Amino acid sequence: MALESKIASAPQAQKRPKPITQHGEKRFDDYAWLKDENWQAVMQDPSTLLNDIRHHLALENTYTQNVMAPCLALRDEIFEEMKGRQEPEDSSVPVIDGAYAYGHAYRTGDQYGVYKQFAVDTKTRKISETSIDILDADAIAKSAYLLQLAKQKDKENPDEGQSGGPNEAQNTPKKYFDLGSVAHSPCHKWLAYSLDLNGSESYEIFVKPMDSSAHSLNEAKPRASMITKSTGSVEWAADSKTIFWVERDENQRPDSVYCQNIFDPQSQAKCIYKENDPGFFVSISESETGQFLEISAHNHTTSEIHLVPRNAPLTPPQCVTSRQDGIEYSVHEHGSDFYILTNAHGATEFQIMKCPQNVTHFENWSPYIAQTPGVLILAIETYAHFLVRLIRENALPKIIIRDMRTSEEHEISMPESAYALGLRGGYEYDTPWLRISYSSPTTPTQIFDYNMETRSRVLLKTQSIPSGHSPEHYQTERISITARDGAEIPVTLLYRKGLTRDGKAPLLLYGYGSYGITISASFRTAPLSLIDRGFVYAIAHIRGSEAKGHQWYLDGKLDKKPNTFHDFIDVGQGLCTLNYTQRGRIIAQGGSAGGMLVGAALNLDPELFGGVIAAVPFVDVLNTMSDSSLPLTPPEWPEWGNPLEDLTAYTLIKSYSPYDNVVKREYPPVLITAGLTDPRVTYWEPAKWAVKLRDHQTGPAPILLKTNMDAGHQGESGRYDSLKELAFEYAFAVTIGKG
């Protein structure tokens, strides 16, 4: 069934050409007016959005709803399948922290679940089967919505003599809810948590006693209230009274670290670190031993860490070593030393260095574990007697354990040829137990405790698929496809066993390819709804990721960024050559920077694709990278280049920016999503791209834009609401793929 285009009823946005001159070149942006110049206020209060922009986005949503109307029954069917694969009363494996353990559980129907505390026998490590509820996230979400509803009623019935603003009639209560962080105090008596109620990623922090049954916002507010612009992360000092958080500036950039005694008024919050370079973002975390709080200032290529002793929280942060352009490092304490994961001294794949804790500057670092060509060290963790490193070799992860007493090493063996592997961390340092996760495209996620002394493993949990899952019905492959320049691109494939490779199957090709982010070969339940309908599901591990090491990432950024787009197209064409599918039967899917990927590929080879799904796509690359006031622009220059100052960067970005390369031609159906309060990819990027594509469309296929007026970059946050969004996208893909 093909989608009815309804071209005549499609929104036709007014053209208001805005002249832009850079490097002596003048260009015009016909749809720049879709950017509300008061965007900072819109992030915090969406009701302030200009009426003409709101009206246009509403028309787009209505058009998308009308075109997709024949697919809604299929969407509901796919949603029920996805929901049926989730355990209604799922729960995590509790994580031990001294005399207590902490976990999370869903009750039937829960979107967000309940956080729990368990008693622990410290001699046997046995966790009690009973628990107390320390935070009911679903109850808080309901209270938040009711509070928004009450505020809205007050607006709609103002006091006599007052008048409402022009948008108030359209200002419906927001249902968005995201729980950013849940952190218990070291004394196990207090709980700090953070909430985002509009999707802008500005979180409000609350603190409550853990033995309290109070779950509503009003009951939770008395301590540490009015902290409203945090990034969501909360850390505790050793005194169980002082909390630390990161705040955003007026342009939504995390730039300052604050601390405060929870018993003091918020006016007494103290700024302990301020980042003055807008190109660096700030975060805070706890070190492995819990001895320090680590303040990290970083962009995509450079980092700098400052340490605060947790037992002396008002101590001024001490810099480990000053930032040097292009040098990244992380710090991990062990005994009286620090072990440092870094790319210093030309270690492209990263190495581990060592220094005394009292002499931490760069010149005092000495080699400990050298880099191995083609083996990327992704992360390290230190324990009382062990150093653990997660590596990637030949596009697959591995875990290496080093006994710090003997320097003996061993690898944790894995049973399959394509899989995903992760370190789950924990609260304990002096322990032989390492928690890991394992899955493959056909094997549901398993959680193990691995004993680093005895090399034995204990299976703690296997992901349950209530509606049933038979791994033997599916086939996974890891193949390589040769790119146009000879590079070998890894591709992960999943399909029903017995697939006839005659080129007739529709194929969903997923890609990302930026920031070194690598899409793992993990178990995913959602794509089964495509695969069971005859699709091949493919992940292209293209350059710009770190699938084949850090150099793989470097070969897909800055002046080498076109490799990313060419790899994606070459993988698609290669899959056609191998008869997994054929040209015009591939549905390309990507989100955020992956949306830029599929947008660029669409411009380069539109006939390859039967359709495109672009979620919150970063597509107005030239304009965004030329606007230094936007939240992510300065930190992104090391990834894409700075077109404000560099003519070469300007020319290159202009050559691939999806929005700037739309031309008159026949495009396949395109589904684009956006979030009104998205601080990462601002709503006007996908909105502008959609109207420009439609204006240049010479064929009958629809260009659809669906803007979530109540959410940001991550879309809906509830476990079921998020599935509804994905089911909508998959219904689009199935309709196109079977057309």
Q: Which pairing describes strands 329-334 and 318-319: parallel, antiparallel, or unpaired? A: unpaired
* Beta strands across the sheet bearing 190-196: 178-184, 190-196, 204-209
Q: Active site residue: 196, 255, 678, 710, which one?
A: 678
How many other CB atoms are found less than 10 A from the CB of residue 425? Answer: 12
Distance CA 380, CA 386 (A): 10
Cα-Cα-Cα-Cα dihedral of 618, 624, 629, 633, to 10°?
60
User: Minimal CA–CA distance to 546: which of 510, 574, 519, 511?
Assistant: 519
- Are the CB atoms for 425 and 450 separated by under 8 Å? no
Q: Which residue, among 567, 571, 515, has the nearest Cα to 543 in the 3D structure?
A: 567
Q: Provide the total of helices (H) and of strands (E) in the chain, helices listed first.
A: 14, 37
Round the CA-based radius of gyration of the chain to a whole number and report it. 26
**In this structure, what is the dihedral angle of CA atoms 234, 237, 241, 246, given to the nearest 10 degrees?**
-30
Q: Which residues of 111-143 are buried (b: 16+ CB within 10 A; e: fewer)?
A: bbbbbbbbebeeeeeebeeebeebbbbbebbbb
Residue tagged active-site, from 143, 185, 200, 592: 592
Separation of CA 429 from chain center: 28
Residue with tokens 């493919």: 538
Q: Six-digit token pair at 664?
A: 């008159």
Tell me if 257 sits within 8 A of 273, measured CB to CB: yes
Q: Tokens in use for 342? A: 């870094």
Strands 433-439 and 457-462: unpaired
Pairing of strands 670-675, 703-708: parallel
Distance CA 547, CA 545 (A): 6
Reported as type and span, the H/E element at residue 100 is: strand 100-105
Q: Assess whether 678 carries a catalytic annotation.
A: yes
Phi, psi torsion values for 406, nearest 5 degrees: -120, -10
Angle at the Cα of 588 from the Cα atoms of 582 and 593, rounded to 5 degrees: 150
Whole-angstrom CA distances from 11 to 16, 264, 635, 693 are: 15, 53, 35, 12
Does residue 467 have an active-site annotation?
A: no
For 132, left (φ over 0), alpha (ψ -120 to 50), or beta? beta
Active site residue 592: yes
Positions annotated as catalytic residues are 592, 678, 713
